[in-house]
Amino acid sequence: MSNGDQLPLYSAVQLPELLRQDSNRKFIALKVKREAQNTALHAIYIEKQQQSDLFPFCALITVTEWDEKTEKEEFFIEAENIEQLMEKLERFDEIHSFVFLLVPSSLGIETVTMQPQEIFCTLFPELGKFNVQATEEVKFGLKNSALALLNRLDNL
């Protein structure tokens, strides 16, 4: 995969037109929410399902505490068209506060089910390879690097 700085970035308002132009595009949207001592990654995977005629557009939303203090939450949404999907996503969360990344077709829906640090290492190889056995210090450094990267992307 290419350098994370080269992954095309989009806003929520651009998605309907982009998917009308090429329905094979896949997107991952990211946002971090901090409350007191907790940091949670909200991740959304969006694609057009080739095998479904009734509800071809889908999104998997995951909310994962960075430090695994609570269980991961997952929500699956299907829609007849991209506008309906975006409307459902907006009702679920503040969709306009996410950073949308156009991801390679090799990335699948399972990407957003990974732990936050693993998602960032997959999308942004410049952060290094994710190591589940890493020390808490290394994981803390990776968390800070990932949060700083997302903050930079959000401000572009």
Number of CB atoms found within 10 A of residue 19's CB: 22
- What are the boundaries of each domain within the chain? 4-154
Average pLDDT, the chain: 88
> Of 46-50, 78-82, 89-93, where does the model show the most confidence?
78-82
Residue % of the chain over a pLDDT of 90: 53
Nearest to 10 by CA among 107, 122, 98: 98
Residue 82 has pLDDT above 80, yes or no: yes
104-107, long-range: CB within 8 Å, 24+ apart, which pairs? Answer: 104/1, 104/26, 105/24, 105/26, 106/1, 107/1, 107/26, 107/28
Residue 69 has pLDDT above 90, yes or no: no
**pLDDT for residue 70:** 80
Residue 1 has pLDDT above 50, yes or no: no
